[in-house]
Chain A
């Protein structure tokens, strides 16, 4: 590794160092079986989500068949697929979503993809917070960071760690989508392979984008403390506080005038929660804004964490 100099060659060396640290991070994750745990969590989560969806459909269809005096289908899914092509399905969606345009958009997507998006947007950030928050804190705790930062700068080191974790997250969430597809495809009747695959492929990068600020938040916690457990607690506890901040400031309870409205709106810009709205419904007009906020919060959290790491006595 090469210390970063303030010129073009130095920058290239810095990028090489980042890639090297990321590669070692992946290797370390494999060695410490973190990768196995993550894959189990994500792939298991994806498979479990698809299986839950199938089981739910089976129960609904069996009950509905009983009510109307029919035999239940051997494999669930047919009724929902047929129903999703009716106008009533759109009307039901409109009642749930409160908007005709949203209902039309989601009605055109296979229900399994909508379910995957919902589960992935809700669960992936927490899984990432759980698995990525120890990465630098454990090196600080074991003092092994001292050997790394002798050979490269602290910034390439931290960026490499984050890149490694991001690579794990991107791969694991992609595999979760594959597991979702395989389980749903093998259990659902009338499964639309092409449409579902395209839908999952379109949802996956948006989930990754939404998860990036959470990864940066986990890195912040990891850079702010010297204990892996403390980092995990800080990452998850802090995220709980951020989610509460989002919930309180979204509702009408705290919005009692122009100033409180402005403060509540401002609070929405410091938490990543809720910014999947534009990502999950691109025609709504909030896509660009949510992408910008997710990326900006990623940078903000990471740099806040790095400001602490830079001053830390290793």
Chain B
């Protein structure tokens, strides 16, 4: 028994002793990561005015961010005591400030994506079920959705590129309107293609399930727009009056 017991205990002790260093490193790195995340969170919360917007409206938000930045009331620096009041200056904590300002565009987008995709998946499943689409037709449908999302992604990327090319000045509304028109045109084309490819059963299923191809839009395409809107907001807040 000793010949089995001794190597077994030696293995366990070896694993324990050998893991002491790596485990300490992991703990230290985890603590540093938590600290870095906390600092990044606090830094973002102290940034400029942000918009709470539904991600699909991120296109408009990009242009609106700069406009509202100029209209937003500018808080006095924290070290300046407000005139006309004897009360002490309270320094708002980062969390409260963040709650007051609401979610960042990119965060709103991430939160909306989950629910929108869930609804989209359900509607797709319902439509496939009712339309009794064959595997080939399902593949054609998936290809159509993929193409639509690729074109939308291209339109939003162009918009971001154009606004970035404008520099730090206030973005004009025209590129946003152009991008929105492109997106709507892509949607209309995809919708027409879908309807043209359906038989009577499929069209009946469309009516019955009230399926719309817009439910299949990948909100990830708007990610860059939301990030750009977020950057605009942060830049506005950091620039001050």
Any chain A CB within 8 A of the CB of B189?
A: no
Q: Do the beta carbons of A78 and B129 come within 8 Å of each other?
A: yes
Any chain A CB within 8 A of the CB of B165?
A: no
Any chain B CB within 8 A of the CB of A289?
A: yes
Any chain A CB within 8 A of the CB of B20?
A: yes
Residues of A within 8 A of B4 (CB): 299, 303
In whole angstroms, how far apart are the Cα atoms of A303 and B2 in the complex?
Answer: 9
Residues of B within 8 A of A87 (CB): 113, 117, 218, 220
Any chain B CB within 8 A of the CB of A313?
A: no
Q: Do the beta carbons of B129 and A83 come within 8 Å of each other?
A: no
Any chain B CB within 8 A of the CB of A292?
A: yes
Q: Do the beta carbons of A68 and B1 come within 8 Å of each other?
A: no
In whole angstroms, how far apart are the Cα atoms of A293 and B218 in the complex?
Answer: 45
Q: Do the beta carbons of B122 and A65 come within 8 Å of each other?
A: yes
With known contacts A91-B110, A265-B19, A303-B4, A82–B220 Cβ distance under 8 A: no
The majority secondary structure among interface residues of chain B is helix
Residues of A within 8 A of B114 (CB): 88, 91-92
Closest Cβ of chain B to A85, distance in Å, is: 8
Which residue from B12, B122, B220 sits with its C-beta under 8 Å from A300? B12
Q: Do the beta carbons of B23 and A265 come within 8 Å of each other?
A: yes
Closest Cβ of chain A to B7, distance in Å, is: 9
Which residue from B12, B110, B117, B210 sits with its C-beta under 8 Å from A293? B12
Interface centre among A78, A85, A297, by most chain B C-beta atoms within 10 angstroms, is A78
Closest Cβ of chain B to A294, distance in Å, is: 11
Q: Do the beta carbons of B125 and A307 come within 8 Å of each other?
A: no
Residues of A245-269 at the interface with B, using a CB-CB cut-off of 8 Å, are 258, 261-262, 265-266, 269
Q: Specify the chain A residue showing the minimal Cβ separation from B209.
A: A70
Contact string against B for A residues 59-88, beta-carbon threshold 8 Å, 1 for contact and 0 otherwise? 001001100111101000011011101111
Number of residues from A at the complex interface, CB < 8 A: 39
With known contacts A261-B27, A265-B16, A83–B118 Cβ distance under 8 A: yes
Which residue from A91, A261, A297 sits with its C-beta under 8 Å from B113? A91
Q: Do the beta carbons of B8 and A299 come within 8 Å of each other?
A: yes
Residues of B within 8 A of A310 (CB): 1
Residues of B within 8 A of A157 (CB): none
Q: Do the beta carbons of B11 and A61 come within 8 Å of each other?
A: no
Residues of B61-115 at the interface with A, using a CB-CB cut-off of 8 Å, are 110, 113-114
Which residue from A71, A289, A303 sits with its C-beta under 8 Å from B126? A71
Residues of A292-314 at the interface with B, using a CB-CB cut-off of 8 Å, are 292-293, 296-297, 299-300, 303, 306-307, 310
Residues of B within 8 A of A258 (CB): 24
B: residues with CB less than 8 A from A are 1, 4-5, 8-9, 11-12, 15-16, 19-20, 23-24, 27, 110, 113-114, 117-126, 129, 209-210, 218, 220
8 inter-chain pairs at a CB distance below 8 angstroms, sorted by A residue, are A64-B118, A65-B122, A79-B118, A83-B122, A269-B15, A293-B15, A296-B8, A306-B1
